[in-house]
């Protein structure tokens, strides 16, 4: 009897954890987080959520590079090989549609997030 109670409790905890995990996963799949999208020559090279602090080095075959820093929900270019350093001196970006452009390196970092919600809505209403 007592053993059964323990098993029941364990099973309930297991179910609760599974439900919690499922809900967390679901919200992760459905919530569109702001992301910094890195493109080289218009080709997507990577996506980095602004919620995660990270440093990314984008190095090209000719030796040119940009170092992207994501910190406190903002993205900026920390360092770059370009001569003008326009990208480095640009203020950090965090809002939909904002971008960091490095013309000499043909690099673009753009913020993307819930912009597709409009498209989703129109699909649903069709
Ligand atoms: Zn630059």
Average pLDDT of the residues of the chain: 86
Going from the Cα of 71 to the center of ligand 1, the distance in angstroms, rounded, reads 19
Q: What is the pLDDT, as a whole number, of residue 126?
A: 46
Going from the Cα of 44 to the center of ligand 1, the distance in angstroms, rounded, reads 18
For the record, the structure tokens of 95 come out as 């809002």
- Mean pLDDT over residues 74-95, rounded? 97
Going from the Cα of 13 to the center of ligand 1, the distance in angstroms, rounded, reads 53
Task: Grade residue 20 by pLDDT with cuts at 50, 70 and 90.
Answer: confident
Helix/strand number for the chain, H first, E second: 3, 7
pLDDT at 27 over 70: no
Distance CA 44, CA 31 (A): 21
The 10 Å CB-count burial string (b at 16+, else e) for 35-64 is bbbbbbeeeeeeebebeeeeebebeeeeeb
What DSSP character marks residue 94? Answer: -
């Amino acid at each position: 009897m007592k053993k059964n109670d323990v098993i029941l409790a364990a099973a309930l905890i297991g179910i609760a954890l599974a439900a919690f995990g499922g809900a967390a996963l679901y919200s992760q799949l459905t919530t569109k987080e702001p992301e910094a999208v890195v493109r080289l020559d218009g080709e997507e090279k990577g996506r980095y959520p602004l919620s995660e602090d990270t440093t990314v080095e984008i190095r090209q075959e000719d030796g040119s590079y940009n170092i992207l820093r994501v910190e406190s929900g903002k993205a900026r270019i920390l360092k770059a090989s370009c001569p003008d350093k326009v990208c480095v001196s640009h203020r950090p970006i965090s809002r939909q549609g904002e971008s960091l452009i490095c013309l000499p390196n043909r690099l673009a970092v753009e913020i993307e997030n819930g912009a597709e919600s409009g498209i989703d809505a129109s699909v649903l209403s069709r």
